[in-house]
């Protein structure tokens, strides 16, 4: 700013020697003035104060909790740590968490792409309503998300007869059939359903603003050159959104692995069978023996995966910020 | 020229891209199956109770105090986050200091860290013998197992919403306006409060709304630090799980419905206020 101003002021002088000298003097002058007059930034001591306040806040609310997880996890020694995370129930919880994530993320991935394709590349009535409905799970408490599935599939639920006895029907010539649903509540399908509900908007939300921004020019060019619809999608659209897709998958898996409230309602907390990692942390923490060390050991696995998520996320923003939606370009 | 061709293009290409029917159909079917039908089930179940039945459950003292606690702490935490989140965004956008990138990346920790892990970590940290809790204990302030502890957990989960919404808006604020304000004789405080802040209000409010919505329903990070004393530190989502454990589905449904309605109302009010502010800002 000061340079630009001094250059403008100095411009009329015709002697180049004098010009630079003037400019230098003017720059010095304006620097002095900007210190004297209240200008467009804060005094240094205010800056230091504000930075200190912000960092102190982040320290107490973000950094220390994270550090504490690892300190507590290792407080009982490496041996206790290893035995806590290799115990049979912990391993079963890890397996279940990974299984649920591996089912939920692809489901939401396909949904996210379909929703973004419909919403961002086409015009239709009720589009805004559709977008807010997709966002709806963000506004619903995880516990309520679990509850709605209990109301449908639970022991007093509408679908319970289908699960309990099944639906008997006869087809001509083919004989009798029974359609029976698997158990949902207190079992893996319920955990999958609740997690899908909670992570529902994650990938769609990442894709929609980006695809809106990219418009349809490239797809139209591909179509006019004779590509089929699928070819256009695989060769033009998908490469354009791949980093945003990865970003969405990252956030979606982090939430899917860590979901607690919704899963807690539908899981029934059966050790070794319907216990996900976050539920296992809770059980260990509330154990009669106050098994804090083991709880934090298992929690540190989740914290570690959160750290990896953050690092990957920062890397994507830094390296591929241009191909993410506008609000992720730092 | 560019505008003209774009508008002509939009007219023509309405249905040029293939796959509209398929993608919209799939979107609607999946949305209905996973979100809308299950939520509709909640409303039908609640409707079966009738107004009187709902009212009776809502006005139970334990339910009332749980709802008050959930909404009160969520509002307090969102307000605190609106203040501190804006400060953090300001510091990140405007100042340079060592470690800024790392702190910036860490803002999203509450998104990535499972809530149960955050819950036990905050409980240990702010508990009576915790690293931070013992200092509060020394001055006679109890944090863990009080509404203050709940608010702390909600501040943790809501923090990134405000920062991430305000940060890009603040980065876009035109410095020229501040320079103009300074040349016209405003001091720095006047410039910040009368020029910069009005441009930020809609973003701050949006972040506040998101943090609030998240806080009202939050469960995992709260139940450890709350202590869960009925009528004192028992949040509404926890009460729902208790009622479910007792197979009292009617009561659980009624509380869930109250939470949904109240948070939609609050979000609607925030949205209205926000669009008013945005219009005035322009």
Q: Kindly list the residues from chain A whose CB atom is less than 8 angstroms away from the CB atom of residue B14.
A: 122-123
Interface mutation target, options B93, B115, B155, B220, chain A, most CBs of A under 10 Å: B220
How far is C-alpha A30 from the geometric centre of its chain's CA atoms?
47
- Which uninterrupted H or E stretch holds A167? strand A167-171
CA separation for the pair A7, B179 (Å, rounded)? 17
C-alpha closest to that of A284 among A95, A67, A90: A90
**H helix runs in B139-235, sequence order:** 147-172, 175-183, 188-191, 197-217, 220-226
Q: CA separation (Å) from B228 to A119, A244, A246, B225, B253?
A: 43, 40, 39, 8, 20
Count of all residues that appear for chain A in the document: 330
- What are the boundaries of each domain within chain B? 51-281
Interface mutation target, options B6, B11, B16, B19, chain A, most CBs of A under 10 Å: B19
Q: CA separation (Å) from A209 to A114, A121, A146, A323?
A: 14, 11, 29, 11
| Residue A21 reports pLDDT greater than 70 | no
pLDDT digits (tens, 9 = 90+) for A120-147: 988 888 888 999 899 899 889 999 999 9
| Residue B178 reports pLDDT greater than 90 | no
pLDDT class of A15 with cuts at 50, 70, 90? very low
ipTM of model: 0.88
What pTM was estimated for this model as a whole? 0.86
CA separation for the pair B192, B194 (Å, rounded)? 6
Residue A315 buriedness (CB in 10 A; 0-12 / 13-18 / 19+): exposed
pLDDT of the residue at A13: 40
Q: Kindly list the residues from chain A whose CB atom is less than 8 angstroms away from the CB atom of residue B95.
A: 47, 50-51
Question: What's the fold here for domain B51-281?
Answer: MetI-like fold (1.10.3720)
Residue of A nearest to B152 (CA): A61
pLDDT of the residue at B4: 46
| A134, A149, A306 member nearest B113 (Cβ) | A306
Least confident of A15-24, A158-167, A283-292, A298-307: A15-24
A257 in contact with B, Cβ within 8 Å: yes
Q: Which CATH superfamily is domain A77-328 in?
A: MetI-like (1.10.3720.10)
- What are the boundaries of each domain within chain A? 4-36, 77-328
- Considering chain B, what percentage of its residues have pLDDT values greater than 90? 63
Least confident of A27-41, A236-250, B113-127, B194-208: A27-41
Instruction: Reduce the DSSP state of residue A171 to 3 states and report it.
Output: strand
Give the number of beta-carbon pairs within 8 Å between A and B: 284
Instruction: Reduce the DSSP state of residue A169 to 3 states and report it.
Output: strand
């Amino acid at each position: 700013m000061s340079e630009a101003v001094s250059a403008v002021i100095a411009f009329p002088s015709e002697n180049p020697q004098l010009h630079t000298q003037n400019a230098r003097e003017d720059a010095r002058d304006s620097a002095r003035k900007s210190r004297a007059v209240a200008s467009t930034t804060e005094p240094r001591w205010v800056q230091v104060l504000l930075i200190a306040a912000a960092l102190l806040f982040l320290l107490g609310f973000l950094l220390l909790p994270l550090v504490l997880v690892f300190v507590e996890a290792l407080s009982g020694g490496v041996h206790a740590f290893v035995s806590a995370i290799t115990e049979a129930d912990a391993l079963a919880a890890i397996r279940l968490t990974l299984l649920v994530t591996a089912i939920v993320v692809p489901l939401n991935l396909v949904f996210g792409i379909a929703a973004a394709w419909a919403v961002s590349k086409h015009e239709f009535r009720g589009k805004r309503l559709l977008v807010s409905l997709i966002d709806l799970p963000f506004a619903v408490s995880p516990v309520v998300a679990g509850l709605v599935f209990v109301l449908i599939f639970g022991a007093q639920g509408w679908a319970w007869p289908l699960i309990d006895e099944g639906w008997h029907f006869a087809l001509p010539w083919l004989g009798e059939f029974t359609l029976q649903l698997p158990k949902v509540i207190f079992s893996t399908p319920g955990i999958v359903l609740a997690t899908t509900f909670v992570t529902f908007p994650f990938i769609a939300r990442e894709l929609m603003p980006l695809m809106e921004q990219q418009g349809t020019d490239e797809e139209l060019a591909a179509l006019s050159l004779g590509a089929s619809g699928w070819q256009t999608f695989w060769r033009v659209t998908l490469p354009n959104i791949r980093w945003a897709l990865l970003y969405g998958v990252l956030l979606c898996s982090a939430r899917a692995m860590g979901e607690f409230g919704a899963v807690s309602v539908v899981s029934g907390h059966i050790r070794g069978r319907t216990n996900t990692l976050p539920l296992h942390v809770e059980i260990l923490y509330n154990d009669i023996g106050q098994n804090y060390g083991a709880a934090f050991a298992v929690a540190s696995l989740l914290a570690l995966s959160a750290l990896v998520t953050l690092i990957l996320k920062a890397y994507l923003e830094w390296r591929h910020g241009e191909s993410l939606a506008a609000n992720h370009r730092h | 020229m560019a505008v003209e061709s774009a508008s002509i293009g939009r007219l023509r290409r309405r249905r040029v891209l293939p796959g509209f029917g398929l993608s919209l159909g799939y979107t609607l079917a999946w949305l209905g199956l996973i979100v809308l039908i299950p939520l509709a089930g909640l409303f039908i179940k609640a409707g079966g109770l009738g107004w009187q039945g709902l009212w009776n459950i809502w006005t139970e003292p334990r339910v009332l105090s749980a709802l008050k606690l959930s909404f009160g702490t969520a509002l307090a935490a969102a307000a605190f986050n609106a203040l501190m989140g804006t400060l953090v965004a300001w510091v990140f956008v405007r100042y340079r200091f060592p470690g800024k990138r790392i702190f910036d990346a860490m803002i999203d920790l509450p998104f990535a860290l499972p809530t149960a892990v955050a819950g036990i970590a905050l409980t240990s940290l702010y508990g009576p013998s915790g690293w931070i809790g013992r200092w509060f204990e020394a001055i006679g302030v109890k944090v863990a197992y009080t509404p203050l502890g709940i608010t702390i957990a909600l501040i943790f989960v809501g923090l990134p919403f405000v920062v991430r919404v305000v940060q890009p808006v603040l980065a876009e604020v035109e410095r020229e306006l501040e320079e103009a304000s300074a040349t016209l004789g405003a001091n720095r405080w006047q410039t910040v409060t009368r020029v910069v802040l009005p441009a930020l209000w809609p973003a701050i409010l949006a972040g506040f709304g998101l943090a609030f919505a998240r806080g009202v329903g939050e469960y995992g990070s709260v139940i450890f630090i709350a202590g869960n004393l009925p009528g004192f530190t028992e949040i509404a989502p926890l009460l729902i799980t208790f009622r479910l454990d007792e197979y009292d589905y009617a009561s659980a449904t009624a509380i869930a419905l109250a939470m949904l309605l109240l948070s939609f109302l609050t979000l609607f009010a925030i949205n209205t206020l926000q669009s008013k502010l945005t219009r005035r800002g322009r």
